[in-house]
Amino acid sequence: MLDVGDSAPDFSVPIAGGEVYNDISSFTLSEALGDGPIVLAFIPAAFTSGCTTEMCTFRDSMHRFEGLDAKVYGISVDLPPALNIFIQQEELNFPMLSDWRHEVIHDYGVVLPDMYGLFEVAKRSIFVLDSTGTVTYRWVEGEGKTDFGAAIDAVYDAVAETVSV
């Protein structure tokens, strides 16, 4: 698993913008670097209760991240059209990345191998990258119920520290 100080692996995946079900384009991490910190919030699956709560907590906190010129991206193994519907349904104000080939979750070391004993998804995790692509913060969900407000406060603090360095 990636750790603080590691270089984030580059990747290219579909990005769901959320305007309509087929609002899909291409996203390459290396092309997004340089304009400020990037937050990659990995979730197991759209439309599930925990993932919806986490993404909606980010939605409600976006003004804080925008004030730091940080870009937030949700990322899951869901297909892009499903992510577009998820964005619309939950009124998310940031795009979602589709790791439908499961390559990014492997490269970042955040594979949850058997959701419901059936298939692999992402472990709930968050990485903050500086403008060069270095991991400056990493959080991976542990046991028990997550306080998403506290988790996102910690991510915000990590982004603010990245900006001030």
pLDDT in tens, 44-88: 999 998 899 999 999 999 999 998 999 999 999 999 999 999 999
**Tell me, what's the pLDDT at 37?**
95
Q: Is the dihedral of CA 18, 126, 64, 133 positive or negative?
A: negative
Among 42, 8, 49, 16, which residue's Cα sits nearest to residue 120?
42
Which one is catalytic: 29, 40, 41, 51? 51
Predicted local distance difference test score (pLDDT) of residue 36: 87
Query: Higher confidence at residue 116 or residue 16?
Result: 16
Residue ranges of E strands in 29-160: 38-42, 71-76, 96-98, 111-115, 119-122, 125-129, 135-140
Catalytic residue at 51?
A: yes
Per-residue pLDDT tens digits for 97-150:
999 999 999 999 999 887 666 779 999 999 999 999 999 999 998 766 788 888
Alpha-carbon distance of 23 to 17, in angstroms, equals 5
pLDDT of residue 25: 96
- Give the torsion through C-alpha atoms of 77, 82, 83, 87, to 10 deg: -150
Note the pLDDT of residue 117.
Answer: 65
Structural domains of the chain in order of their starting residue, each with its CATH number? 12-164 (3.40.30.10)
pLDDT of residue 114: 75
How are beta strands 125-129 and 135-140 bridged, if at all? antiparallel
